[in-house]
Amino acid sequence: MPEPVTVSVEVARPRQEVFEYVDVLANHERWMDHLFKDWRFEGPRRGVGAIAKARVDAPGSREQASFEVVESSAPERIVERGESAHGKRETRGTYRFTALEGGRTRIEFEIEWTRTPRSEKIAPFVSRAFMSRANGKGMKRLAALLEKG
Protein backbone atom coordinates (compact mmCIF):
# COMPACT_ATOMS: atom_id res chain seq x y z
CA MET A 1 0.00 0.00 0.00
CA PRO A 2 1.35 3.48 -0.77
CA GLU A 3 2.43 5.66 2.14
CA PRO A 4 0.06 8.58 2.83
CA VAL A 5 0.56 11.84 0.92
CA THR A 6 0.12 15.23 2.58
CA VAL A 7 -0.09 18.57 0.79
CA SER A 8 -0.66 21.97 2.36
CA VAL A 9 -1.27 25.61 1.57
CA GLU A 10 -1.71 28.78 3.60
CA VAL A 11 -4.50 31.28 3.00
CA ALA A 12 -5.24 34.77 4.26
CA ARG A 13 -8.59 33.77 5.75
CA PRO A 14 -9.65 32.88 9.32
CA ARG A 15 -9.81 29.17 10.19
CA GLN A 16 -13.58 29.13 10.88
CA GLU A 17 -14.34 30.67 7.48
CA VAL A 18 -12.04 28.18 5.72
CA PHE A 19 -13.58 25.25 7.58
CA GLU A 20 -17.13 26.35 6.72
CA TYR A 21 -16.28 26.60 3.01
CA VAL A 22 -14.56 23.20 2.82
CA ASP A 23 -17.29 21.55 4.91
CA VAL A 24 -19.79 22.12 2.07
CA LEU A 25 -19.04 19.07 -0.07
CA ALA A 26 -20.43 20.63 -3.27
CA ASN A 27 -17.72 23.31 -3.04
CA HIS A 28 -15.05 20.63 -3.65
CA GLU A 29 -16.02 20.51 -7.32
CA ARG A 30 -14.60 24.03 -7.74
CA TRP A 31 -11.05 23.02 -6.85
CA MET A 32 -11.08 19.33 -7.84
CA ASP A 33 -12.66 19.50 -11.29
CA HIS A 34 -9.23 18.87 -12.84
CA LEU A 35 -9.57 15.28 -11.55
CA PHE A 36 -13.32 14.66 -11.60
CA LYS A 37 -16.34 15.72 -13.65
CA ASP A 38 -20.10 15.13 -13.77
CA TRP A 39 -20.47 15.64 -10.02
CA ARG A 40 -23.63 14.60 -8.15
CA PHE A 41 -24.44 15.11 -4.49
CA GLU A 42 -26.55 13.24 -1.95
CA GLY A 43 -27.42 13.61 1.69
CA PRO A 44 -26.88 16.74 3.74
CA ARG A 45 -25.21 19.74 2.15
CA ARG A 46 -22.42 19.77 4.73
CA GLY A 47 -20.96 17.63 7.47
CA VAL A 48 -21.21 13.93 8.21
CA GLY A 49 -23.28 12.02 5.68
CA ALA A 50 -22.66 14.39 2.75
CA ILE A 51 -21.82 12.34 -0.35
CA ALA A 52 -20.29 13.33 -3.69
CA LYS A 53 -20.10 11.09 -6.73
CA ALA A 54 -18.13 12.00 -9.84
CA ARG A 55 -16.53 10.51 -12.90
CA VAL A 56 -12.75 10.42 -13.21
CA ASP A 57 -11.72 13.05 -15.77
CA ALA A 58 -9.45 11.00 -18.03
CA PRO A 59 -9.80 10.26 -21.74
CA GLY A 60 -12.17 7.34 -22.26
CA SER A 61 -12.62 6.77 -18.52
CA ARG A 62 -15.92 5.50 -17.18
CA GLU A 63 -14.53 5.13 -13.67
CA GLN A 64 -16.70 6.54 -10.91
CA ALA A 65 -15.49 7.82 -7.56
CA SER A 66 -17.48 8.55 -4.44
CA PHE A 67 -16.63 10.53 -1.33
CA GLU A 68 -18.52 10.56 1.94
CA VAL A 69 -17.85 12.84 4.88
CA VAL A 70 -17.43 10.55 7.90
CA GLU A 71 -16.17 13.11 10.41
CA SER A 72 -16.56 16.88 10.70
CA SER A 73 -15.05 18.53 13.78
CA ALA A 74 -15.36 22.31 13.48
CA PRO A 75 -13.06 24.06 12.92
CA GLU A 76 -10.20 21.55 13.14
CA ARG A 77 -10.75 18.75 10.63
CA ILE A 78 -12.91 16.98 8.07
CA VAL A 79 -12.48 13.31 7.13
CA GLU A 80 -13.80 11.73 3.93
CA ARG A 81 -13.95 8.09 2.90
CA GLY A 82 -13.36 7.62 -0.81
CA GLU A 83 -14.03 4.70 -3.11
CA SER A 84 -13.02 4.23 -6.75
CA ALA A 85 -11.60 1.67 -9.19
CA HIS A 86 -14.92 -0.19 -9.09
CA GLY A 87 -14.62 -0.66 -5.32
CA LYS A 88 -11.03 -1.90 -5.45
CA ARG A 89 -9.54 1.37 -4.14
CA GLU A 90 -10.54 2.89 -0.81
CA THR A 91 -9.04 6.02 0.66
CA ARG A 92 -9.29 8.21 3.71
CA GLY A 93 -8.83 11.92 3.06
CA THR A 94 -8.29 14.25 6.01
CA TYR A 95 -8.41 18.05 5.91
CA ARG A 96 -6.74 19.76 8.88
CA PHE A 97 -7.09 23.47 9.55
CA THR A 98 -4.54 25.33 11.69
CA ALA A 99 -4.98 28.95 12.73
CA LEU A 100 -1.91 31.07 12.07
CA GLU A 101 -0.97 34.60 13.09
CA GLY A 102 -2.64 37.48 11.33
CA GLY A 103 -5.91 35.65 10.66
CA ARG A 104 -4.24 33.18 8.27
CA THR A 105 -4.97 29.45 8.05
CA ARG A 106 -2.88 26.46 7.03
CA ILE A 107 -4.91 23.82 5.19
CA GLU A 108 -3.41 20.34 5.09
CA PHE A 109 -4.89 17.49 3.10
CA GLU A 110 -3.68 13.96 3.70
CA ILE A 111 -4.75 11.02 1.61
CA GLU A 112 -4.11 7.48 2.76
CA TRP A 113 -4.97 4.30 0.96
CA THR A 114 -6.85 1.68 2.95
CA ARG A 115 -7.34 -0.64 -0.03
CA THR A 116 -5.72 -0.66 -3.46
CA PRO A 117 -6.14 -2.64 -6.67
CA ARG A 118 -3.53 -5.32 -7.20
CA SER A 119 -2.04 -3.36 -10.11
CA GLU A 120 -1.22 -0.42 -7.81
CA LYS A 121 0.52 -2.59 -5.22
CA ILE A 122 3.37 -3.26 -7.67
CA ALA A 123 4.51 0.38 -7.91
CA PRO A 124 2.98 2.40 -5.05
CA PHE A 125 5.33 5.32 -5.76
CA VAL A 126 3.35 6.01 -8.95
CA SER A 127 0.11 6.49 -6.97
CA ARG A 128 1.91 8.70 -4.45
CA ALA A 129 3.49 10.89 -7.13
CA PHE A 130 0.22 11.30 -9.02
CA MET A 131 -1.80 12.16 -5.90
CA SER A 132 0.86 14.53 -4.59
CA ARG A 133 0.82 16.50 -7.84
CA ALA A 134 -2.99 16.40 -8.29
CA ASN A 135 -3.83 17.28 -4.68
CA GLY A 136 -1.14 19.96 -4.61
CA LYS A 137 -2.80 21.58 -7.62
CA GLY A 138 -6.18 21.27 -5.89
CA MET A 139 -4.90 22.99 -2.74
CA LYS A 140 -3.50 25.90 -4.78
CA ARG A 141 -6.86 26.25 -6.51
CA LEU A 142 -8.67 26.13 -3.15
CA ALA A 143 -6.41 28.86 -1.77
CA ALA A 144 -7.10 31.06 -4.81
CA LEU A 145 -10.86 30.59 -4.40
CA LEU A 146 -10.75 31.46 -0.70
CA GLU A 147 -8.57 34.52 -1.17
CA LYS A 148 -10.74 35.79 -4.02
CA GLY A 149 -13.66 35.73 -1.59
pLDDT digit string (tens) for the chain, length 149 residues: 789 999 999 999 999 999 999 999 999 999 999 999 999 999 999 999 999 999 988 777 788 999 999 999 999 999 999 999 999 999 999 999 999 999 999 999 999 999 998 878 787 888 889 889 999 999 999 999 999 87
Cβ contacts of residue 44 below 8 Å, gap of 6+?
Answer: 50
Tell whether pTM > 0.85. Answer: yes
Q: CATH number, domain at 60?
A: 3.30.530.20
Number of structural domains in the chain: 1
- What residue numbers bound the domain in which 35 lies? 5-148
Distance CA(97)–CA(73), nearest Å, equals 10
